[in-house]
Structure 1
Amino acid sequence: MYRSELQQLAGLPFAKGHATGNDFVLLADPQGTIEVSSEQVAALCHRRFGIGGDGLIRAVPTSKVSGYEQQFIENPKAYWFMDYRNNDGSIAEMCGNGVRAFVHFLIAEGLVNLQVGQTLQIGSRAGVKEVTRLAEGYAVNLGPWGLIFEEQADTDSVDSMVLPVGWEQALPALSITMGNPHTVVALPDQKMLEDLNLFAAPEVSPQPPHGTNVEFVVPGVPLIDGEKARVQMRVHERGVGETLSCGTGACAAAAAMRYWARGTALINDWSVEVPGGTVGVEFRANGGPREDTILSGPAQLVARGVIGLD
């Protein structure tokens, strides 16, 4: 099955990249002519029969993405669109680590020229995002975060229950939107985090309409060190399984912990440790009712190749 799907893409150049261990197959499509089916995405991302990756990212002009032509008309600086698919071929709205890998890929391909300190706008299914190149890595303004079940969350500070695989008792959780859905569970200690089975999806009730990523978070000891808060996180990604990192998930985890701790000092800078490394999350006032969420961290390309028949 996988061979036939890959044969249809034979001769297509690709790159392999990652951002704190969240890895992607990257394709450049400047003419907007590459059609990749969900089955082909799953074949490319398969870790035994394909290249392997948590997802696939196609770099295509925003003006050539069906249904997003208006996004380019309204935001002509967002020339490039991040067409992101999960490991199983399903479409995802946003991937915070994927954005960093995507911009790094655009620079490496010579499709954009972005110097340290400069910013770039990109199109996505979660709207236009602004990326700043740092001395080491990239910072992505993912926009405001929000509560998916706002009325329930405001009343009880939790809005969902999560049952991890192999557990008998569900845990209280909070569902956060970062343009894509997340459900965050706080755990009391690191051993519980380490012992989780995340090969299969935890049960979430109620589940957001389009499914959800599930983040399990342990606060640092102490939680606040100076002017920065520290947490550890593991994640089960919708349509993928457990990944070494999830950028929007890190933002959701920090947002949930900050929401739960809102009666104490309000901390804007967070360090989120994931199995693949560490990312930064900053909450920044934007003059509106909801603050922006800035994700920062590294990105790297590790291989290039051409999809072959054998």
Structure 2
Amino acid sequence: MTITFTKGHGTGNDFILIQDLAGQMALTEAEIRKLCDRHFGIGADGLIFAVRTENSAEVRGLLEQEPNAEWFMDYRNSDGSKAEMCGNGIRVFARYLLSNSLAELTDGSTLPIATRNGIKDVTATASGFAVDLGRWGVTETEYLVRVGGLGVARPGLAINLGNPHIVVALADQEELSSLELSKAPVLDPEAPNGANVEFVVLDEPLIKEGVASLTMRVHERGVGETMSCGTGVAAAALAIRHWAGNGQNFWKVRVPGGEVAVRMFATEDGEHVGISGAAELVFTGSVEL
């Protein structure tokens, strides 16, 4: 089977994008792992199928909520497992849809995209795209996180953004640099469905010209350490705000692949969090599988 693909990334978090309009390209987890392998495949943190929402039994019902959500971002981690959402991936997905004339996004308009975590609204910005990740919440379970490079376990705050995150605050950049994230952090207790784990260090001063800033590294479940994680960036800012109790709503988060902005804002159904950043398509090609 010959597969035509596009490679893209959002702040270094990279993806393989494949059109599967009818939702019938039933690649196995092993085949997805092969495509995402950086030595023997194309190489990526994840794979995204562009599926017409009406053709997906998983999310077809979302059309009752938002009839204009024509496209489903069927996201898979590099280990082949399904994921609920991907904050960088959905921006790259939007770029892919527009570049292939599969969707339009004019000034001031919104592009609704179906995900396993519901409808996400994407808008264009000067530097890329912004996405409303929706409501969020703090999970009551208290976690201890053990990871290579840190001598003792550290407490982590669990944040739910439709996918699970655990955020750990570190003392300084030296601790952040010392982390060994080639292996997954050990969680106590274990997270039922695994979790993305973010390690963050606050800038000094924390707030400058009304924007708070921090630096982050992340280990994504089903992937490993990545250069960026969109929902993880949001989780990191939310956790720090939760601990600080300062009501700061504008954040700048630096990751190894660049910088992502985070904004918290009120809506009729409660507080939402959004992120914005770059989204680039790198090349297209075909591969035999």
Report the TM-score, using the length of structure 1 for normalisation.
0.91
- 2:248 matched to 1:267? yes
Q: Any idea what SS the aligned residue of 2:261 has?
A: strand
Contact kept in structure 1, 2:87 and 2:131, CA below 8 Å = yes
Alpha-carbon RMSD: 1.2
Q: Please, which runs of 5 or more residues in structure 2 have no aligned partner?
A: none
Cα offsets for 1:145-188 (capped at 9, x unmatched): 11122xx5xxxxxx211001254410011010111000000001
Cα offsets for 1:82-109 (capped at 9, x unmatched): 0000000011111000000000000111
Question: What are the within-5 Å matches in structure 2 for residues 47-62 of structure 1?
Answer: 47-62=38-53
Contact kept in structure 2, 1:186 and 1:218, CA below 8 Å = yes
**Cα distance between partner residues in 2 of 1:110 and 1:35:** 24
Question: What are the within-5 Å matches in structure 2 for residues 85-96 of structure 1?
Answer: 85-96=76-87
Question: Could you tell me which residue of structure 2 aligns to residue 126 of structure 1?
Answer: 117
Q: Return the structure number with greater strand share.
A: 2
Question: Could you tell me which residue of structure 2 aligns to residue 291 of structure 1?
Answer: 271
- Residue 32 of structure 1: how far off its partner (Å): 2.4
Q: Any idea what SS the aligned residue of 2:118 has?
A: coil
Cα offsets for 1:94-147 (capped at 9, x unmatched): 100000000000011110111243210000001100000112200000001111
**Cα distance between partner residues in 1 of 2:233 and 2:149:** 24
How many residues of Structure 1 are paired with residues of Structure 2 in the alignment? 289
Of all paired residues, the percent bearing the same amino acid is 49
- Residue 52 of structure 1: how far off its partner (Å): 0.3
Question: Could you tell me which residue of structure 2 aligns to residue 278 of structure 1?
Answer: 259
Question: What are the within-5 Å matches in structure 2 for residues 6-85 of structure 1?
Answer: 10-85=1-76
Contact kept in structure 1, 2:16 and 2:47, CA below 8 Å = yes
**Cα distance between partner residues in 2 of 1:130 and 1:24:** 20
Aligned letter for 2:128? G
**Cα distance between partner residues in 1 of 2:108 and 2:66:** 21
- Residue 34 of structure 1: how far off its partner (Å): 1.7
Contact kept in structure 2, 1:96 and 1:246, CA below 8 Å = yes
Question: What are the within-5 Å matches in structure 2 for residues 184-195 of structure 1?
Answer: 184-195=167-178
Question: Could you tell me which residue of structure 1 aligns to residue 182 of structure 2?
Answer: 199
Q: 1:245 aligns with which of 228, 246, 256?
A: 228
**Cα distance between partner residues in 2 of 1:82 and 1:215:** 24
- Residue 207 of structure 1: how far off its partner (Å): 3.0
Contact kept in structure 2, 1:116 and 1:135, CA below 8 Å = no
Q: 1:214 aligns with which of 187, 197, 201?
A: 197
Aligned letter for 2:208? D
Question: Could you tell me which residue of structure 1 aligns to residue 288 of structure 2?
Answer: 308
Contact kept in structure 1, 2:241 and 2:247, CA below 8 Å = yes
Comparing 33-42 with 99-108, greater Cα deviation is found at 33-42
Q: Please, which runs of 5 or more residues in structure 1 have no aligned partner?
A: 1-9, 153-158
Contact kept in structure 2, 1:84 and 1:92, CA below 8 Å = yes
- 2:163 matched to 1:180? yes
Q: Any idea what SS the aligned residue of 2:117 has?
A: coil
Cα offsets for 1:262-286 (capped at 9, x unmatched): 0xx3210000000000000000011
Aligned letter for 1:293? V
**Cα distance between partner residues in 1 of 2:285 and 2:150:** 43
Contact kept in structure 2, 1:165 and 1:201, CA below 8 Å = no
**Cα distance between partner residues in 2 of 1:135 and 1:170:** 41
- Residue 53 of structure 1: how far off its partner (Å): 0.1
**Cα distance between partner residues in 2 of 1:281 and 1:167:** 28
Question: Could you tell me which residue of structure 1 aligns to residue 98 of structure 2?
Answer: 107
Q: 1:161 aligns with which of 137, 140, 144?
A: 144
- 2:256 matched to 1:258? no
Contact kept in structure 1, 2:21 and 2:55, CA below 8 Å = no
**Cα distance between partner residues in 2 of 1:207 and 1:132:** 36
Q: Any idea what SS the aligned residue of 1:188 has?
A: coil
**Cα distance between partner residues in 2 of 1:237 and 1:116:** 33
Aligned letter for 1:259? H
